[in-house]
Amino acid sequence: MDEKRCILCNKPYNYKYVMFGRGCLDNLYDLLGFSKSPRIIWNKELYLCTRIAWKNHKFFLGKKKKYVLAQKYIALTYINTMNYEALKDIKEKISNDIKNIKTFSRNIVETISFSLNEIYKLVNYVHKFNETLEEIKKINWEEADEKKAENFIKSISFIFDLTEKTSPISYAVFYSMQYTFWQVVVIGGMLANMKLSARLLSNSLSIFGQKPQDLVIEDDETTELIIKNERFKEKINQLIKKYGKNKEDFIVDNEAPKEDILIRFNGGDLLYALHDATMLTKAKKDKDNKWNFEIEINDIYDFTDFKDLKEYSDSEERLRDIFSSTLNNLGVVSSEYGVIQTFNLKIKFKTKEGEF
């Protein structure tokens, strides 16, 4: 004889019901806010389905349609508890499918298919994710020891599962959890003191179904960050030496040798923000014989470039290893999901000798 398995939790049961084990059936009465069935009711499962039909104003459905309707309605109720914007489309589809279950229609039309067990597992993932997230939110990243931080991140890394990409409902849920992870754990936590890096990663997170916009940055804070960086100063001095001798002005643009336009920053925020940037320089001497510069730094922001961090950071960055190994790997998965996307970045500013 075939073993019966509960279509919600997938555990075996040997009871007269068609779909659910007794424990799950009790939970469903609670979930749907139905009072317990009267004792006189022999088949509590069928009664639940009838109640669901009544609640949806469907009064003369056959048994089979009642069961199908119940599954869709239960799925919708569970999906609503997850509260993710990315599930909006899916909710609409299930609602429509519910509407289209009619007493006298011949077929049941489905615009989206799923199993209740899939939804059940997703709800449990989201529950576990939210609980772990609350723990991670308590970390003080300024003092966190790297081992502990790494362990917390590993405890939540089940949300970076590529096999969940194939079903639309799982995809939307895993997408949303990953989006929340980057937003809360990385941007709001680990990168809280690195404003530029946080801003760029934030811009590369795409809202479900959208592409991130390119970014042009021209603010004083970013300018200050760059002109005070050792690598910037070195670069400018090299350029003056090479191009500025006995001249009133010079331009270093894309025609110049690569080593003259490539710039890699050392230390902190800039190290995490810009990876393989190019710097275009327009220089002109003013009446005091000082060089004035118009600078344009261009980069294709790609979070997964973090893997190279180790190569060119010369200072001992506290969280560097987490970014270059663990988070980089997770970033690759999120790129596959489309949660993290690349975009073009331009930073423009003016400065002159003596300011940096």
Minimum CB distance to Zn ion smaller for 118 or for 302: 118
Distance between CA atoms of residues 145 and 302, nearest Å: 27
Minimum CB separation of residue 20 from Zn ion in Å reads 6
* Piece of the chain touching Zn ion by CB under 5 A; list 6-14, 95-103, 165-173, 260-268: 6-14
Instruction: Select the residue interacting with Zn ion from 8, 191, 226, 280 (CB under 5 A).
Output: 8
Cβ–Cβ under 8 Å, residues 109 and 100:
yes
Minimum CB distance to Zn ion smaller for 23 or for 209: 23
* Piece of the chain touching Zn ion by CB under 5 A; list 13-21, 54-62, 203-211, 254-262: 13-21
* Piece of the chain touching Zn ion by CB under 5 A; list 19-27, 132-140, 197-205, 253-261: 19-27
Cβ–Cβ under 8 Å, residues 119 and 75:
yes
Question: What DSSP letter does each residue of 279-326 carry, written as one string?
Answer: EEEEEEE-TTS-EEEEEEEEEEE-GGGGGGHHHH--S--TTHHIIIII
> Looking only at residues 22 through 81 of this chain, which bind Zn ion when binding is defined by CB under 5 A?
24
Distance between CA atoms of residues 169 and 125, nearest Å: 13
Binding mask 147-186 for Zn ion (x = CB under 5 A): ----------------------------------------
Query: Does residue 119 bind Zn ion (CB under 5 A)?
Result: no
Instruction: Select the residue interacting with Zn ion from 17, 19, 21, 269 (CB under 5 A).
Output: 21
Minimum CB separation of residue 23 from Zn ion in Å reads 6
Backbone phi and psi for residue 205, each to the nearest 5 degrees, phi listed first: -75, 125
Distance between CA atoms of residues 331 and 4, nearest Å: 41
Backbone phi and psi for residue 201, each to the nearest 5 degrees, phi listed first: -65, -40
* Piece of the chain touching Zn ion by CB under 5 A; list 2-10, 196-204, 269-277, 279-287: 2-10
Backbone phi and psi for residue 352, each to the nearest 5 degrees, phi listed first: -145, 165
Minimum CB distance to Zn ion smaller for 78 or for 250: 78
Cβ–Cβ under 8 Å, residues 53 and 69:
yes
Minimum CB distance to Zn ion smaller for 9 or for 226: 9
Instruction: Select the residue interacting with Zn ion from 9, 49, 153, 270 (CB under 5 A).
Output: 9
Minimum CB distance to Zn ion smaller for 21 or for 189: 21
Minimum CB distance to Zn ion smaller for 3 or for 259: 3
| Other CB atoms within 10 Å distance of the CB of residue 95 | 13
Minimum CB separation of residue 53 from Zn ion in Å reads 21
Minimum CB separation of residue 92 from Zn ion in Å reads 27
Distance between CA atoms of residues 85 and 242, nearest Å: 54
Distance between CA atoms of residues 314 and 320, nearest Å: 11
Minimum CB separation of residue 16 from Zn ion in Å reads 15
User: In the Cβ-directed half-sphere of 87, how many Cα atoms lie within 13 Å?
Assistant: 22
Minimum CB separation of residue 26 from Zn ion in Å reads 10
Q: By C-alpha distance, which of 312, 329, 310 is closest to 320? A: 310
| Other CB atoms within 10 Å distance of the CB of residue 301 | 22
Minimum CB separation of residue 148 from Zn ion in Å reads 37
Distance between CA atoms of residues 237 and 293, nearest Å: 12
Cβ–Cβ under 8 Å, residues 331 and 307:
no
Cβ–Cβ under 8 Å, residues 14 and 4:
yes
Minimum CB distance to Zn ion smaller for 6 or for 126: 6
Count of residues touching Zn ion (by CB under 5 A) = 5
Minimum CB separation of residue 31 from Zn ion in Å reads 12
Minimum CB separation of residue 172 from Zn ion in Å reads 24
Interface contacts to Zn ion, rule CB under 5 A:
6, 8-9, 21, 24
